[in-house]
Structure 1
Amino acid sequence: MENTITEKPTYKSFALHNFRKIPQMEQLPEELKKEIEVVGSVLPFKANNYVVDELINWDNVPDDPIYTLTFPKREMLIPQHYRRIEKLIDEGASKMQIKEEANKIRAELNPHPAGQLEHNVPMIEGQKLTGMQHKYRETVLFFPSQGQTCHAYCTFCFRWPQFVGMDEWKFAMKETELLVKYLKEHPEVTDILFTGGDPMIMKNKIFSTYIDALLDADLPNLQTIRIGTKALAYWPYKFLTDDDAQQTLHTFRKIAHKGINLAIMAHFNHPVEMSTDAAKEAIKEIRKTGAQIRTQSPLMKHINDSAEIWAEMWREQVNQNCIPYYMFLARDTGAQHYFKVSLVDAWEIFRNAYQQISGVCRTVRGPSMSADPGKVQILGVSEVNDQKVLSLRFLQGRDPDWIGKPFFAEYDEETYWLDELKPAFGEEKFFFEN
């Protein structure tokens, strides 16, 4: 059965230079527009006509979750950073002066958390493969140079340095030759994850060259190709009516026909993103290629910090034949201070949502921190010898021997990230810190 979306919308993006032309902006006070201008000078800002017209409830702005997900707000910068940029704009400073000040602020925002630059970049023949990361034994991340943007930007994005023109903070790789060579020399790698940015921003004629190179190499160790994308939420027409929609789906079919598992790692942050006809049809079209769709999102204050939202989202995902995969915590970078939820609250939200869903939805794991040592899951609050403790375990680790090992931290309702935790029971260090 063919998809029923016949209208062919033209993609139109909005950024600092033209956001005031969005018709719905006319109903907003100048104060909110000023916030977009100030914060958008530091953190990346990009929306599009689909997000603006079909996802945001403008009657609920500025509290609408999708507005908060895509449009900068004053609170996303700490007050002194906001004032520094606001002052320059008010004084009529040049774009270069504003950019220089913004770069100083960006350097204070932990632009590459979890050791991405220091620990994860692999080497081959003495050469750094700067478009790749290899943190976990089985999985290599690949950053195609043509996929280092997105259809719209999330205000929480931990890869925001990719989008602000600071090239020394970018991950990008043009050629697949070294990637194939690296995979041949590392038979332990079974999965490659195309990430970015968003690989689905690429035209299929470019995307397919990467895929064809991998398929033609006949790598016996390659079992799964993953594609991390927000396109199903931000521009589902990529798989429906765009000029290369059918070619993109054909490329997906080629992967499946080769006997390689294709997993679309879809980012859905709120149930409304799955509610449109376009999103539902795009999911169906992708599923028909033989691909799986796995869903993930961070837990974020002001967007989805309630058990009811997560339960609704997981149920809807399963109803549309997607597989709930991860609930993450907002990484310690960028505007984390605005979005973060404490570890204790995150566990409560996860547990309460988990109780509301059936077993088929319980494929999801979380809440999980993608920290320097690995992916750490908060298992819950326990009592040992009348002492309240946090119970955690590694879902992934730099050292595979860490995976699945439970460990305990002192109970603290004000901790938000792994490096803030203290070992329980008087221990000096966690086992992974030795």
Structure 2
Amino acid sequence: MTPDAAPRAAIILAAGQGTRMKSPLPKVLHPVGHRAMLDHAIDAAEALGCERIVVVVGTHAPQVRDHVVARLGEAAIAVQDPPLGTGHAVRAAEAALAGFEGEVVVTYGDVPLLKAADIAPVFGGQGVTVIGFEARDPGAYGRLVMEGDTLSAITEAKEASAEVLALTTCNSGVMAAPAGLLFSLLGEVTNSNAKGEYYLTDVVELARKRGAPTRAVMAGEDAVMGVNAQAELAQAEALFQSVQRDAFLAAGVTMSAPETVHFAWDTEIGAGTVIEPFVVFGPGARVAEGARIRSFSHLEGASVASGAEVGPYARLRPGATLGEGVKVGNFVEVKNVSMAAGAKANHLSYLGDGSVGEGANIGAGTIFCNYDGYNKARTEIGAGAFVGSNSALVAPVSIGAGAIVGSGSVIVEDVPADAMALGRGRQVNKPEAGAAFRAKARAKKKS
């Protein structure tokens, strides 16, 4: 936003019932790219530099209100009760914007793919501006009737003539206007229609009657896609993932089967990283340049440094931090553990709450026993230490630098640096006892 531009505010409509989702989770809280659709809308408003953001919620979904308050505070809430149409919903936000002098954009909590760059062109006008799109199948969308660069009318499909129905330029529902003009026009909107509702689209005709400018700017159809049912949510997710994949490929990330890789909204991956098929990134995953993420791995809230290798079939949970050249192999789970450069855990292990020093080796089947049923405790592995296979390290415990833990050990006390620890029963060999056991077993089976 340029220094001399008018202040901006956003009204995000999120009071819909969402009954077509057929889910106990409110519609706008369903995720796309591991982020609630409503948060995508708030992100766009913040990226536009909106100094005021008001979310219109209904009384039927207290979870939505709680979600907004947790992110934006109580002042961002406006309540529409009862729901009487989009125009009524926008008017519900009027009190929350009292004293605001600038431009207001109306967006929707169920349009997760709409970005700030798509919305920005609506600002800067003196009248009413709407976002339109060219529809592949106009169907039941409201049509934008244009006269040159001027928006003449928004006509609902059920009220349109055959000539208007032939138009493919449709209304997205997103609208902007100076705050004073918007609320003044909404004060003139009536509910004289079959549904008895107050329609936001009526503002265009009222603005024209006043001689205020009315115009339309265009966005892509996918960007303005609304989500009302589970099938549409899946479609929005697919579109989101397609955009993410294209962006990472363009940035130098290698993916042999990109259609099988799934990203979160905030995934970060450096150039030169190789991602094999069937990898899932949850929120908070950061991968530096030149790492390798092998097939069927899942990363969330984790950081992977250059040259590190993850998987196949590995799981990095929140707090996992892998240094340069670290290897976390098949069926290894790491949670809240920092692994220093060159450390390895190649097979079948659980590392939870602790640290692994530089160059340390964690043998197959090792468990950090971090939970006693009530509290978590840490396991600290020193640089160059070697933990033998099938060991259980009962936290809190530390293994000193260069120490060795014998395979199959249960370690309940700290191991000094360069020491060797054996925490298992002594092996006893009984000559001929195996043959005697088999003979006795065979005789019992025959009897």
TM-score (norm 2): 0.27
**Greater RCO, CA 8 A, separation 6+:** 1
For the pair shown, which has the larger CA radius of gyration, 1 or 2?
2
TM-score (norm 1): 0.28
